């Protein structure tokens, strides 16, 4: 069942806020070191092994990813459009694919806490949106007789 364009904008914005909070700690080497330790401890608590140590080169790529996701998040918070949501959803499907690959290769249970929401946000942002004809507006249901004023 299609959703309204305003509901889609709320989903795009909510996914951006989720990303902002989830990836903020990946933006600097110092905050990433803390996050890495927390994720490693969580993986251990879930029955997995401690995560491998990162070298400065690995941290560089983690921080590059974290920085660009922060910028991308702010853009979607300020401009939560369906188009940006579709691009973000595509990225989330790709991220989910690589997380699933890593899950299969490492059996790290903490990845389930990332791959499931990532995939769900992708589905939510690709959910069908009502297409209105000129002169129509959305009032909870598609109105066929309500011209725009």
Domain locations in the chain as residue ranges: 5-126
Q: Contact, 143 vs 120, CB < 8 A?
A: no
β-strand partners of 138: 142
pLDDT in single tens digits along all 149 residues of the chain: 999 999 999 999 999 999 999 999 999 999 999 999 999 999 999 999 999 999 999 999 999 999 999 999 999 999 999 999 999 999 999 999 999 999 999 999 999 999 999 999 999 999 999 986 655 554 444 444 444 43
Report the pLDDT value the prediction gives residue 131, as an integer from 0 to 100. 82
Helix (H) or strand (E) holding 134, with range, is none
User: Percentages helix, strand, coil for the chain, rounded to the nearest 5?
Assistant: 70, 5, 25
Q: Using CA atoms, how far apart are residues 29 and 35, in angstroms rounded to an integer?
A: 10
Model confidence, pTM: 0.85
Report the pLDDT value the prediction gives residue 141, as an integer from 0 to 100. 43
């Amino acid at each position: 069942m299609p959703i309204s364009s305003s509901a889609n904008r709320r989903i795009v914005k909510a996914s951006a806020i989720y990303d902002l909070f989830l990836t903020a700690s990946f933006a600097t080497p110092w905050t990433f070191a803390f996050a890495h330790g927390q994720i490693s401890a969580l993986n251990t608590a879930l029955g997995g092994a401690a995560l491998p140590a990162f070298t400065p080169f690995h941290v560089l790529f983690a921080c590059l990813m974290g920085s660009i996701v922060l910028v991308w998040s702010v853009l979607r918070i300020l401009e939560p459009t369906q188009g940006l949501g579709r691009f973000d959803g595509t990225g989330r499907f790709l991220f989910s694919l690589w997380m699933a690959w890593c899950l299969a290769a490492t059996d790290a249970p903490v990845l389930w806490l990332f791959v499931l929401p990532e995939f769900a946000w992708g589905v939510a942002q690709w959910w069908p949106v009502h297409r209105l004809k000129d002169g129509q507006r959305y009032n909870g249901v598609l109105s066929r007789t309500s011209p725009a004023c």
